[in-house]
Amino acid sequence: MSLSVYAPLTKVVKYRRGGHSGNIRSQLINYSLRTVILNKPGELKLVNRESNRVLKETEVLLKVRRIGICGTDYHAYGGKQPFFSYPRVLGHELGAEVIEVGGGQSTNHLRIGDKVAVEPYLNCGHCQSCRMATVNCCESIQVLGVHTDGGMTELIKVPANKVHVSNKLSFDQLALVETLSIGAHAVERAAISERDKVLIIGAGPIGLSVAEFVKLKTTQTVIADYNQPRLDFARQNGLAKDTLKVENSIAELELRELYDGDLPTIVIDATGNANSMAGCFNLISHGGKIILVGLFQGDLSFFDPNFHKRELTLMASRNSLPQDFKRIIQLMEEGTINTDSWLSHRTDLENLPRVFSEWLAADSGVIKAIVEINF
């Protein structure tokens, strides 16, 4: 047995089990991690948090390298995130490095030093949803950074089947895989064909991730948002045929002008805004589909005769599936999807509590913010 000190951590005792190359079981004794905790709405703090954990055979220990900031984090900061309790360590969009693995068969595909994206949806594996392979909406799901503590910390322990390896992608790219997976899953739910005319409402990171996958299906896409710089970004990056600046609400006539007299056959709302979501029912073609990606705390109502007259299909889209992560990594490795221009703002763990509220400002110019952890 040998003692190793992993700065700035202390007393990390490791031992290797013979015959299992790359498989290390670890006993972690009294180490302190730099961690950012959201104590309550509006209060982020950097602390040193003691931890004392031993890896199970099915687990992997990751050094967190990058953390993407998304709408879930902003909503939690503002006290508007459903399924949430305080205090909580945020962070579910992670680019990380494998530093230790358990000794079970589920870890055999992993090696020390592997670069990974993390699938942050911890499902139970035995409820009806899990048995039907819809693990993204497990009845007792625990999402890192939402229901349980996430990755705004130096090290994190996760099940080995929740990490997806790519030693070709950068940590920046790996941290965006989860964001992209939300859009990929919504587009799969929509079953878009090249004949479809698609309206994406909301040009935040989730709306942009939807657009990345819609463009692989059809060229007839419009993105609507109140934020002109985000619309400019979408147009400059080829994510839509047209964009629509929203002042108060979207008018049917405006859409018909953009779709050569027609209405969109598919509307994907990524706003999490109740008024926007309710308005979708008046913007869709007869026989069309509405996919709601964003969510809010409250009831959504619609006029039933209008819903039936148009014979609409209404879908929710939640989280994503393991195969979404695998597909996205492949597309990024091939260069089919390039998110380099997305990263508009970055900081380190120490300065995150100071700059986080600045990123919320309407004039911040944030497209996508990312946190670096330096060791």
Residue 31's pLDDT is 74
**Residues of the chain with pLDDT > 70: what percent?**
91
The answer to whether the Cα torsion of 232, 236, 239, 240 is positive or negative is positive
Beta-ladder partners of 347:
371
Residue 96's pLDDT is 98
Residue 8's pLDDT is 45
Residue 24's pLDDT is 40
Whether 159 and 26 map to the same domain: the answer is: yes
Whether 73 and 143 map to the same domain: the answer is: yes
SS3 46: strand
pLDDT in tens, 268-315: 999 999 999 999 999 999 999 999 999 988 999 999 999 999 999 999
272 falls within a domain: yes
pLDDT higher than 80, residue 7: no
Whether 214 and 241 map to the same domain: the answer is: yes
Report d(CA 292, CA 368) in Å as an integer.
Answer: 21
13 falls within a domain: yes
The mean pLDDT of the chain is 91
Whether 234 and 268 map to the same domain: the answer is: yes
Whether 171 and 189 map to the same domain: the answer is: no
Residue 53's pLDDT is 65
pLDDT in tens, 352-362: 999 999 999 98
**Domain carrying residue 231:** 183-316
Whether 138 and 238 map to the same domain: the answer is: no
CA 141 to chain centre: 15
214 falls within a domain: yes
Number of structural domains found in the chain: 2
145 falls within a domain: yes
| Average pLDDT estimate for 42-56 | 87
Whether 236 and 355 map to the same domain: the answer is: no
Residue 244's pLDDT is 97
321 falls within a domain: no
Residue 14's pLDDT is 39
pLDDT in tens, 165-213: 999 999 999 999 999 999 999 999 999 999 999 999 999 999 999 999 9
Whether 203 and 96 map to the same domain: the answer is: no
Residue 52's pLDDT is 62
Which of the four pLDDT bands, split at 50, 70 and 90, describes residue 337? very high
332 falls within a domain: no
Whether 28 and 132 map to the same domain: the answer is: yes
Q: What is the CATH number of the domain that holds 145?
A: 3.90.180.10
The answer to whether the Cα torsion of 144, 148, 152, 153 is positive or negative is negative
Whether 67 and 125 map to the same domain: the answer is: yes
Which of the four pLDDT bands, split at 50, 70 and 90, describes residue 108? confident
SS3 81: coil
pLDDT in tens, 215-273: 999 999 999 999 999 999 999 999 999 999 999 899 999 999 999 999 999 999 999 99
Residue 77's pLDDT is 95
Whether 85 and 171 map to the same domain: the answer is: yes
Whether 56 and 199 map to the same domain: the answer is: no
pLDDT higher than 50, residue 4: no
252 falls within a domain: yes
Domain boundary among 301, 316, 331: 316
Q: What is the CATH number of the domain that holds 292?
A: 3.40.50.720
331 falls within a domain: no
Residue 26's pLDDT is 43
Phi-psi region of 346 (alpha: psi -120 to 50; beta: other; left: phi over 0): beta
pLDDT higher than 50, residue 34: yes
